[in-house]
Amino acid sequence: MSRDETQAADVKTYGRDLSPAKLEELAVNTIRTLAMDGVQRAKSGHPGMPMGMADAAFVVWTRFLRHSPSWPQWPERDRFVLSAGHGSMLLYSLLHLFGYPVSLDDLKSFRQWGSITPGHPEHSPERGIETTTGPLGQGFANGVGMALAERMLAAQYEEIVGHHTYGIVSDGDLMEGISHEAASLAGHLKLGRLIYLYDDNRITIEGGTDLAFSEDVGKRFEAYGWQVLRADGHDREAVAQAIEEARAEANRPSLIMCRTHIAKGSPNKQDTADSHGAPLGEEEVEATKEALGWPVAPPFFVPEVVRELFAKRREELDREAEAWKERFAAWRQAHPELAARWEAQMEKALPEGLMEKLPRFEPGKAIATRNASGEVLQVLSAEVPALVGGSADLAPSTKTLIKGAADVGPGSYGGRNLRFGVREHAMGAMMNGMSLHGGFIPYGGTFLVFADYMRPAIRLAAMMGQQVVYVFTHDSVFVGEDGPTHQPVEHAMSLRAIPNLVVIRPADAPETAEAWRVALERRTGPTALLLTRHGVPVLDREGLAPAEMVARGGYVLLGAEDPEMILIATGSEVHVALDAARLLAAEGRRVQVVNMASWELFDEQPEEYRRTVLPPEVTRRMSVEAGITTGWERYVGLQGISHGIDRFGASAPWKVIAEKWGFTPEAVAEKARALLKAGP
């Protein structure tokens, strides 16, 4: 029998008759070696963090975390966030050992094409992965959002909700600015059921953290209003005691500073930056296994006694989930109306006839689309219990306050209005956490120019397919006197570059209502509403296509028989293009006006429909949008032109800006005439 065959045969007897402490040590070393082997086989990855945090993670997952591999989406499960997503093999190993659908072959396929074990964890609730992490700090803020969602649900359904949010965070997470914002707000809100374990290994990619990081982390978090605890991250009983203390604290989130050794057990790479982001190497893997008293071969070795240990805990957890299910059934029978609300909220259900209840807007009246959005929001919030949100200290400007509803505040979680403060970074990622948790359709408002602060969170929301709504107001240079620092010119286009993000720039108040409908019905990704600060006329739809056509993204607003030219516009420029077309029609020109409210929705339409909106034979086309022109060539073609602003803005009243930069019907008509004269 070969050496490998001998080792494989020993899987049934290896580690038998060990004391409980020694059995735990065997289980922890199983996690370490699986991580080492996965990274080594992939020839890339981060072995050091999983090896260093294996003890602490084992304690969390086997003694405290309430989850159910048989029911991964149990609503009352504790949430676990691996914010230090580079240590993904730690999470994958735990999921495999607990019996989630992550097989040993999946661990062997780490970072490979088509595998379910990518380099950083990707949202997969059926496999026990609560959120996509890796961009440092995002998971930290996601967890704050999850903890807030739990408290808000518990305020409504206290008999069936009361779980914790756990996470592992790294030095990198705590350096990134987003974690400062989220930690500050978590402390302010007194989110006592939020418990983070800080992997204090004092190593980053470049070397020791003292190269650039010398603050007192504990004092910083104490200043935020957190409970700060300390433990030897390799002393499992000390970690467990710290978690017990954290769970006992009702009014403060807890940071447990776990002093650890990166690549724990590696004879030559423990406590070195070399182990952070690269495989240990075949020789060092062998040396580490020998130092741990572990069989050198075969790789990905899991002793049977370790499998039994995790299987026993899984059975206990599954029984807890079943007991909750029985308790929920009794609660539902005792509280049918409240249970119906719970189910509607968890399903994010929309009532029938919702659109008929929305306000009507008088044609011809100038209404800023941000104001229209605020009016629509009042009705939607009353009808859709899952809809909650706020702004980054801009509610009076973004019109995102739900009137008559209470604020969510420290120790008071029954409201609907979220006060994020001046924290766009945290707001974006916390909304992701709330959506991921379930039970909420979160929205957040700020000026479009500040979407840059939220971009990483927006990108991850799109990647994870989360139903999040961004209310971006002050959407163009027509912000006016605030000047170029607050006038977005490239932002709409930069958002359109994010896959699976639907960007809608409605032309008037009725289209704004329709844009909200799209956002509430769309379950597969986030939606950004780009809304005006200044008033735009409500279009008189007689002779025009209805506002409901916004759902198709682009549509023929004003048709023309055998058109010789197409004007394509968005947002507040639609009425300008419409008036320009009418000026040209008076001269005998046949101009079709297309409202391209959403590129993404339009591109989803069948080709036959898109050809009716933009007939290929009509090559003289002109886009009209008060922003950069890059990208419009996809719709105007090689023979078309784009009228926009390929520079930063200027401080002046918005009507002056419109005149100076040619966003008047007369100026647009003049450009169109020049294009028509140029011939086909």
| 201 touches 115 (CB < 8 A) | no
The alpha carbon dihedral of 664, 666, 672, 675 has a sign of negative
Supply the DSSP symbol for 359: P
Show Cβ contacts of residue 152 under 8 Å, excluding neighbours closer than 6 positions.
Answer: 388, 408, 413, 414, 439, 440
Q: Indicate which residues carry an active-site annotation.
A: 424
3-state helix vs strand vs coil in the chain, percent to 5:
50, 15, 40
Distance CA 50, CA 262 (A): 8
Bridge partners (DSSP) of residue 566 are 592, 621
42, 98, 99, 543 from 95: Cα distances, Å? 19, 5, 6, 60
Task: Give residue for tokens 């929205």.
Answer: 443
Show Cβ contacts of residue 17 under 8 Å, excluding neighbours closer than 6 positions.
Answer: none
Distance CA 270, CA 280 (A): 10
Show Cβ contacts of residue 15 under 8 Å, excluding neighbours closer than 6 positions.
Answer: 23, 26, 303, 304, 305, 306
Please, is 267 exposed, middle or buried when counting C-beta atoms within 10 Å of its C-beta (0-12, 13-18, 19+)? exposed
Bridge partners (DSSP) of residue 447 are 473
Show Cβ contacts of residue 313 under 8 Å, excluding neighbours closer than 6 positions.
Answer: 62, 98
Nearest to 390 by CA among 121, 185, 611: 185
**E strands of 392-440, at which residues?**
407-408, 417-419
Distance CA 382, CA 145 (A): 22
Nearest to 423 by CA among 208, 145, 236, 665: 145
In this structure, are strands 554-558 and 527-530 parallel, antiparallel, or unpaired? Answer: unpaired
249, 306, 668 from 515: Cα distances, Å? 43, 53, 26
Please, is 652 exposed, middle or buried when counting C-beta atoms within 10 Å of its C-beta (0-12, 13-18, 19+)? middle
- Based on C-alpha coordinates, what's the Rg of the chain? 28
